[in-house]
Amino acid sequence: MINPNISVDCVVFGFDGQNLNVLLIEQKDVGQLRRFALPGDHLEEDEDLDQAAARVLKELTSLSGLYLKQSGAFGDPNRVKNIKDLPWLESNRSDPQARVITIAYYALVKMEDFNPSASSFAARVFWHDVNSIPELAFDHDEIVQAALLVLRRELSELRVGHELLPDKFTLSQVQALHEAILNSSFDKRNFRKKALNDQWVLPLEEKQTGVLHKPARLYTWNKSRAGL
């Protein structure tokens, strides 16, 4: 049995080497409209919030085993009252007019390690640049922006980079990740100096392979400093 008044919505972030992306679904059962949303669903009565978030991602996108963390609660009385959302609510909810409070989670994934696929009431699942997302259902635009603020605050925790970058990476990749999340640019020399002086990363006796330019040294995260 589900609780019709409580839901979870998941903001899944992935980094493609240049841009920060968010995972979206295209809703089924919306008539002539095309509506996009975050993966989300109601809470079942016998599960806690963390279990619900993991289940929702598995059911709607096939993703599992992700790093998940709560990023906010959203309870505006009008959050599910947009007329554009009514066709989907009428097709998928026993009480389309019920008030719904949602708990948001954010997840971090290495995009190359996962192949999302749509199921349940998701017609399609796809990655989209977080800086140019289309209009989303309900208050999901607000939920994305709130999760992005949390991600920016927690960027100094090395777990963020650990979850988004490969195990071995270049300093250019670390800088590109920070610039994508913070939507800012940094001086290359100063950024590298800070990364090394603060011991975020440890150098490896390895360099890039299969590149046309001069191979760059590879690094890994300083796991003892990050508590990983």
Task: Based on the fold, state whether residues 123 and 220 are members of the same structural domain.
Answer: no
Measure the CA–CA gap between 50 and 10, rounded to whole angstroms. Answer: 11
What integer pLDDT is reported at residue 225 of this predicted model? 67
Summarised one tens digit per residue, pLDDT across range 183-225 is 999 999 999 999 889 888 999 999 888 777 888 899 998 877 6
Summarised one tens digit per residue, pLDDT across range 34-61 is 899 999 999 999 999 999 999 999 999 9
Task: Based on the fold, state whether residues 127 and 199 are members of the same structural domain.
Answer: no
18 pLDDT band, cuts 50/70/90, is very high
Give this prediction's pTM. 0.91
What integer pLDDT is reported at residue 191 of this predicted model? 94
Summarised one tens digit per residue, pLDDT across range 87-142 is 888 888 888 889 999 999 999 999 988 888 887 788 899 999 999 999 999 999 99
Residue 227 has pLDDT above 60, yes or no: no
What integer pLDDT is reported at residue 152 of this predicted model? 94
Task: Based on the fold, state whether residues 141 and 165 are members of the same structural domain.
Answer: no
Number of domains in the chain: 2
Task: Based on the fold, state whether residues 42 and 136 are members of the same structural domain.
Answer: yes
Measure the CA–CA gap between 159 and 154, rounded to whole angstroms. Answer: 9
Task: Based on the fold, state whether residues 10 and 71 are members of the same structural domain.
Answer: yes
Task: Based on the fold, state whether residues 200 and 107 are members of the same structural domain.
Answer: no
Q: Domain containing 41 — which CATH number?
A: 3.90.79.10
Residue 65 has pLDDT above 60, yes or no: yes
Tokens of 211: 């590149």
Q: Domain containing 207 — which CATH number?
A: 1.10.10.10
Task: Based on the fold, state whether residues 126 and 177 are members of the same structural domain.
Answer: no
Task: Based on the fold, state whether residues 137 and 89 are members of the same structural domain.
Answer: yes
Task: Based on the fold, state whether residues 26 and 88 are members of the same structural domain.
Answer: yes
Measure the CA–CA gap between 196 and 94, rounded to whole angstroms. Answer: 56
Summarised one tens digit per residue, pLDDT across range 149-169 is 999 998 877 778 889 999 999
DSSP bridge pairs for 129: 21
Amino acid at 214: K
Residue 200 belongs to what domain range?
159-226
Please provide the average confidence, as pLDDT, over all residues in the chain: 90
Task: Based on the fold, state whether residues 22 and 132 are members of the same structural domain.
Answer: yes
